Amino acid sequence: MDKYKVTNSQGREIGTVERQLTGAEIGAGIGASLVLGHLLFTTLRNNADSQAAEGILSALNKGEHEQSVKLADALVKRRPRNAGAYTIRGSLYYRLDREEDAIKDLSKAIELDESLEDAFFARSRCYQSLGDWGNAIRDINRAIQLNSKVYYYYGVRGLCLSKLGNTDQAIIDLNRAVEIDPTDPFIYSCRGEIYMLCRNFNKSIADFSLAINLSSNEPEPTFYRLRGEVYSLIGDNENSSRDNTQAKALEERQEEQERKKADEREEQKRKKVLADATERINNLAGECFWAGIFCWLFSFFPLIFTIYAINNGNKVFNEIDKCGIDTGKYRAFIGIILAYLNLFAYIIVIGWIIFYKLHS
């Protein structure tokens, strides 16, 4: 679907440009990150789980999402009756676009603790990703009942309501979110998009402008892109072109920053692989050394014994031969015995090496 699409809940096009409510979804995504961060820092206060939480945070900061899930798996196995552990893992699944797995974990968390608002909110986000707006609203309603002072709960419910065509109630929810926290630019962006859907272009432009001005660092390119679309809808091509140019410049800057971060992560992975390989080589060198000593002991001494036995045995048999007794068959028998002894020694060596490798 085209990235820039303006439609109502029935899919009817509004204006000349089409897009979806991406800005609202960005704002809801911020809320999901806050939930995960809140849960992890709460877990850090528990001495028994602090190391696991620190490991998950570290993996997330490095962009190692799969590793963070493995650490969350270990936390769930250690605390199978802890609702927070399931909520953490469910939130991580959501970040990996594994909504079905996330819903299972979050439902388990709710089963263990029906007062855990974070689990209801996170499961609502999963249902939104699946387009199940009814269940999403049901869960976010429950989260609001448990805690009515969290501003982004209202922002998410406003998004869901707008998807169902209830833009009036959506605006009411977003107004409530602004009352609770008037500093979050994403809430203004969400409301600006809904005003755009309602063709209230002046209020839409005002909200996108607030979102841009409230951004602590550099604004999201989406804010400029959306405001540019509104200017386009009202025929202000000059301001539309200016905002689109600014959005493109910010997007290129962010892409460059993402490339640098990706390169840094790849360099860190390369160094880790090199360090692991060096450690394995050192361990293997040590194993080979001791295996060599073992093989030498079990092969050199039997060989020396064999040579000694053959040499002295020949002297004995030569003396017996002088007495007219044929020792040929005895020589063959002893030779076979010595050969089997050497073979047995080598079998022990090989068997030890195989056993060692299987259990190391």
Buried/exposed code over 38-66 (b: 16+ C-beta within 10 A; e: otherwise): ebbeebbeeeebeebbebbbebbeeebee
What is the band of 104 on the pLDDT scale with cuts at 50, 70, 90? very high
Our count of domains for the chain comes to 2
CATH number of the CATH domain containing 110: 1.25.40.10
Q: Summarize pLDDT for 38-67 with one digit per residue, the tens.
A: 555 555 455 566 777 778 878 877 778 888
In this predicted model, what pLDDT tens digit does every residue of 276-310 receive, in sequence order? 777 776 666 555 555 555 555 555 555 565 555 55
Would residue 249 count as lying in a domain? no
The pLDDT assigned to 202 comes to 95
173 and 309 part of one domain: no
Of the two residues 272 and 354, the one the predictor is more confident about is: 272
233 lies in some domain: no
Whether residue 38 is contained in a domain is answered as yes
132 lies in some domain: yes
Q: Which of 126, 127, 42, 34 is nearest to 82 (CA)?
A: 42
Quote the tokens at residue 6.
């303006």
Last residue of a domain, one of 146, 178, 210: 178
The pLDDT of 179-184, averaged and rounded, is 92
**What is the value of pTM for the model shown?**
0.64
pLDDT of residue 10: 36
Q: Are residues 296 and 170 in the same domain?
A: no
Whether 26 is in a domain gets the answer: yes
Q: Which domain holds residue 18?
A: 5-178
Name the β-bridge partners of 166.
Answer: none
Q: Which of 130, 152, 178 is where one domain is finished?
A: 178
Same domain, 172 and 297: no
User: Tens of pLDDT along 152-176?
Assistant: 899 989 989 998 989 999 999 999 9
Residue 231 lies in a domain: no
Q: Which two tokens stand for residue 230?
A: 């509104």
Mean pLDDT of all residues in the chain? 77
pLDDT band at 25 (very low <50, low <70, confident <90, very high): very low
Within this chain, do residues 149 and 10 fall inside the same structural domain, yes or no? yes
Domain boundary among 148, 178, 208: 178
Q: Is residue 226 a part of any domain in this protein? A: no
- Is there a domain that residue 220 lies in? no
Name the residue with higher pLDDT: 285 or 246: 246
- Are 192 and 170 a contacting pair, CB within 8 Å? no
Q: Which amino acid is at 265?
A: R
Percent of residues, the chain, with pLDDT higher than 70? 64
